[in-house]
Structure 1
């Protein structure tokens, strides 16, 4: 199994890594120093389980668990605080490890993870057809100026690339998320469709497709925004609006 350790304290990450090297079926161990870094790495590394601290700067472990892309990895909370246990199990945690814990206690948690993984159907994917999120995330967490902004996905009207970031266009503002457009679309799933090499829209916000020259067009959204729709993506957008297959 693939494991990701998410903890803002380096000694805690190093201790977990040492213990995990003694588990024969642990294929890889990835580390993230906080929740923001974890969200960036999860789409790429696709861990089976997170060993997740709760109290971290900017994004707590509970906030991260609520914002995981689907299909989400299993979560084992690893924390020094016992008062979060009820909230942790409400977040569908597999286990709740209180620091300090010994190797035997970690192994019991990993046994629960193995049992849950054994119940899951094996994913089917190809190199040319990435697996889309089957249950899209409900909200995105964005770190900005020392705070964490929570953006409900339903409020995102369209997405636009900006160098190494994606602009989330909402009625309340345009926060930046450090992510590729393609990677974010894999997290968000079916409600969104790409309409331009630099843009994608949430289908529920589209009111009309307006034609332009040479097969290009514009998507008119509720609220008045206009989003470019290039001829390369026009057919896919129309199929998505009809409820057909989407191309990303």
Structure 2
């Protein structure tokens, strides 16, 4: 697993690298002392996993995750502060480790990552959910049995995903990453860190900032979704002859 360590303390980075030497599946490809360095390295290496400190000069760990344009890697937070644990899991963190890091606790966190990786590898194209599949959605007291082709947009809301279909916007307890793994990529496209769009609902496409695109979706209220620069390249390849 390609891994990046993000921590403003050099000694903390060195100690974590030393501990990770006992885990041959973890390949530390880079390290960063702040969020700005980390963003450049994430764009360069496209890592599978981040070990991420929370309190750092400049942007903190949460603000770093907010600035990632596309799919966020799996995240294990490493911090000396326990008051951020609840917020960490709102960002779909796989684990939250307190400093100083204990080897047994680190092994437990890495086991979670390996389990998640194995789970995603076992998903075959035959198991993708397509536009003709129907899914049961329950939000509070309301229930729907909706055909996925009617869902024009999936929007990340922390540990939840909001489905946009007709004039309804129910939420389900699922991360956008895990949902993306189940959806047919020929129909449902990851536009950016927060959105998956149904390609059949696109009404208009416009050039946008920094090489990105802005798509307008059909629907009761016209939604405009930005496709990030990196995803725009994939989008153009997907939609070209």
TM-score (norm 1): 0.53
Pick the structure with greater CA Rg: 1
Deviation at 1:186, TM superposition (A): 0.7
Deviation at 1:187, TM superposition (A): 4.9
Contact 1:71 1:135 in 2 (8 A): no
Whole-Å Cα distance in 1 between the matches of residues 97 and 20 of structure 2?
15
Q: Give SS of 1:120's match.
A: helix
Residue aligning to 2:73? 73
Deviation at 1:246, TM superposition (A): 5.3
Q: How does 1:49-88 map to 2 (within 5 A)?
A: 49-88=49-88
Residue aligning to 1:5? 5
Deviation at 1:40, TM superposition (A): 1.0
Contact 2:210 2:229 in 1 (8 A): no
Q: Give SS of 1:66's match.
A: helix
Deviation at 1:35, TM superposition (A): 1.0
Residue aligning to 1:128? none
Q: Give SS of 2:101's match.
A: coil
Q: How many residues align?
A: 153
CA deviation map 1:160-209 (0-9, x unaligned): 58xxxx9xxxxxxxxxxxxxxxxx6115677x87xxxxxxxxxxxxxxxx
Residue aligning to 2:230? 186
Deviation at 1:92, TM superposition (A): 0.4
Residue aligning to 1:109? 109
Residue aligning to 2:14? 14
Q: How does 1:140-151 map to 2 (within 5 A)?
A: none
- 1:35–1:246 Cα change, 3 Å: farther
Q: How does 1:23-38 map to 2 (within 5 A)?
A: 23-38=23-38
Residue aligning to 2:126? none
Q: Give SS of 1:5's match.
A: strand
- 1:189–1:62 Cα change, 3 Å: farther
Deviation at 1:157, TM superposition (A): 7.2
Runs (5+) with no aligned partner, structure 2 = 124-188, 196-205, 213-227
Residue aligning to 1:245? 239
Deviation at 1:101, TM superposition (A): 2.0
Deviation at 1:134, TM superposition (A): 2.0
For the aligned residue pairs, the C-alpha RMSD in angstroms reads: 3.2
- 1:78–1:58 Cα change, 3 Å: same
Contact 1:66 1:91 in 2 (8 A): no
Residue aligning to 2:190? 134
Q: How does 1:163-178 map to 2 (within 5 A)?
A: none
Contact 1:136 1:188 in 2 (8 A): no
Whole-Å Cα distance in 2 between the matches of residues 87 and 188 of structure 1?
30
1:159 paired with 2:228, answer no
Whole-Å Cα distance in 1 between the matches of residues 232 and 39 of structure 2?
13
